[in-house]
Amino acid sequence: MIGRALPDALGALVKIVGTDATEVERALFDGRLECRGCGGVLAPWGWARLRVLRVRGGGVWRHRPRRSRCLGCGKTHVLLGAFGLLRRRDAVWSIGFALVARAAGHGFRWSAARLGVPASTVRGWLRRFAVHAEAVRVWFTVLAHDLDPLLGRIFPTGSLFGDAVEAVGMAARAAEERLGSQDGWGFVSRASAGALLANTGCPWAATL
C-alpha cells in the first residue's frame, strides 16, 4: 500500500516507519518490519547519520534513524520516522500546513511567514504538489475508500489542488477512525512512502 522505497545517499533503501522510536525498536527486534525489496525480515544494523528537520517557528528537531538489514536479500534500510518527507528539510506538518493553506486560498508568502521558512521553499512545495495533484487525488481517494468502505463521495472543492488536499485529508481521517489514534500528516508520510513531493518512489509513480 505504501509504495516502493527510495535509496538514500549511501545506497540503502529508505523505509518510513512510525514516530514512536520505542515501538519502532520493539518491532525491529521482534521481526515485525519487512524489507521493502523482497518482503524479508529486517534486523538491527546500527544507526544512520543524524537528520535535522526544521519545525514551525524556526526550531529544529534532530533525529538519528535506525539502520536495518534484511535477513533475506541483505539490503540495508534507513528507518525514517514519519516526521518528514524524503529529501525535504522541513517537518511534514509544516509542509501539510502550507498545502492546506494553499487549498484555502492563501499564497506561499502567507504560509512562509507563519512557518518561519523561506518563501521560495514553500513555493517549491506547492509547485511540486501541483504537478502530481491528480495522481495524488486518485491515490488517496482510493485509499480513503479502502479504509472506510462506507465513505461517500469526496466532493470537488473547485480546484484540482484543493481536490487533492481534500482526498489526502479524507484518507487521514479514515485511517484515524479505522486504525485508532493516528497523526494525520505522519500517516500521509507513511502512506506516500515519504514521497508525497517526489517524482519517484511514490505509490502513484506508475501512473505518471
pLDDT in tens, 25-58: 999 999 999 998 889 999 999 999 988 899 887 7
Q: 62-66: long-range contacts at Cβ-Cβ below 8 A with a sequence spacing of 24 or more?
A: 66/24, 66/25, 66/28
DSSP character at residue 134: H
Tell me the pTM.
0.85
Identify the sign of the CA torsion 166, 171, 176, 181.
negative
Task: Calculate what percentage of the chain has a pLDDT beyond 70.
Answer: 90
- Residue 70 C-alpha from the chain's centroid: 22
Binning pLDDT at 50, 70 and 90, where does residue 9 land? very low
- At residue 30, what are phi and psi to the nearest 5 degrees? -85, -5
Identify the sign of the CA torsion 133, 139, 140, 141.
positive
Q: Check residue 2 and give its pLDDT.
A: 33
pLDDT in tens, 152-201: 999 999 999 999 999 999 999 999 998 876 688 999 998 888 889 987 66
Domain ranges, ordered by start, for the chain: 6-81, 92-201
